[in-house]
Amino acid sequence: MKQVAPLRYDVIFKKAFSHPELFTALVKDFVGIQLEIDEVENDKAFVPPVGNVATKFDLFAEDKKNRVIVEVQHAHYSDTYERFVYYQCGAMVETIISSSNYSFPVTVFTLVFFTKKNTPSPDSGILVHDFEPRDLVTGRVIKKVYQRKHKLIFVFTSNSAHADTPEQCREWMAAIDDSLDKKVDEAEYTNPAIQALFDVIEQDKITPEERARMKEEHNQKEAETRNFNEGKDEGIKEGEEKGVKETARNFKALGALTEEQIASATGLSLEVVKAL
């Protein structure tokens, strides 16, 4: 067993996959292409921004030789799918240089990893959003309409047990999910890149600065959860109060009870009952 830092933290996810060899291995197994890159950028942003909302890509790499851009995002439970559609489209639009030619000069892939959220599909833990045109009547994909086949891929790492999911993808998903309890059994994994991943995120190799950022992320998540629960409790309380008032209104409409009796039966104050 090896003690590791959980890949649920942005800082650890970026630490791991900012290594070009790990990034390219991950991309090859999920997308099926071999990138030729020298670096992976962290928190990549376009200046000026594309559209009205500035975007920042967790991990970004461009293979200039093969004209491919790959973005890898670590998603949180509260992140919407539409956010990453926006990111994908923004990266595609940014590659268009002139209105004289709207052909995309590069192919853009976006890989989004959810380490907490479950897949909405009963069939696998991977969803693929492609940009292929289909015939209205037959639903058949029509080839060669677009020169490039862009893809947005959602990966739900906690759902790696589906038998039909490609084995190379399942092993990555299981490894990422396995890290969340801070320990992994390296013997369960055959992919050398995953062994290298575990070496990078080993607890002894986490710097004090990275630990501080992990703590900040943890505190922020706790605050978000606390605020959500408080809002939920407040909503339940408000709903219960509305229900009691509606009951009191019904009693008043029947005319069988006095306002004092209604107040006693519902727990509302006499002033509130009179105001209904």
pLDDT at position 27 is 98
pLDDT of res. 11:
96
Please check whether residue 74 lies inside any domain of the structure. yes
Residue in the structure block whose two tokens are 């998903």: 173
Report the DSSP pairing between strands 41-45 and 56-63. Answer: antiparallel
> Is 215 within a domain?
no
Task: Answer for the pair 185, 175: CB distance below 8 angstroms, yes or no.
Answer: no
Domain co-membership, 151 together with 14: yes
* Residue 31, domain extent: 2-206
Do 116 and 178 belong to one domain? yes
Instruction: For residues 199 and 236, state if they share a domain.
Output: no
pTM for the model: 0.78
* Domain's final residue, options 206, 236, 261: 206
Q: Are residues 166 and 114 in the same domain?
A: yes
The tokens describing 133, both together, are 């045109």
Cβ neighbors of 146 (< 8 A, separation 6 or more) are: 104, 131, 132, 133
Give me the number of domains the chain comprises. Answer: 2
Q: Are residues 184 and 251 in the same domain?
A: no
Same domain, 49 and 165: yes
30 plus 114 within the same structural domain:
yes
pLDDT for 180 equals 95
Q: Do residues 177 and 160 touch, judged by C-beta distance below 8 A? A: yes
Pick from 206, 236, 254: which residue ends a domain? 206
218 inside domain: no
Q: Are 61 and 18 in contact (CB under 8 A)?
A: no
| 235 and 195 within one domain | no
Residue 27 within any structural domain of the chain: yes
Angstrom CA distances, 156 to 30, 41, 120, 150, 238, stand at 12, 23, 9, 20, 35
Quote the pLDDT of residue 195: 96
Asked whether residue 58 falls in the same domain as residue 164, the answer is yes
Cβ contact 230:31 at 8 Å: no
Note down pLDDT in tens along the chain; length 276 residues: 999 999 999 999 999 999 999 999 999 999 999 999 999 999 998 888 887 888 889 999 999 999 999 999 999 888 899 999 999 999 998 888 766 778 888 999 999 999 989 999 988 899 999 988 999 999 999 988 888 999 999 999 998 878 889 999 999 999 999 999 999 999 999 999 999 999 999 999 999 999 999 999 888 877 666 665 655 556 556 666 777 788 888 878 877 788 888 888 788 888 888 888
- Which of these three, 178, 206, 234, is where a domain ends? 206
- Cα–Cα distance measured from residue 67 to residue 60, given in angstroms and rounded to the nearest whole number: 14
User: Do 230 and 200 lie in a common domain?
Assistant: no
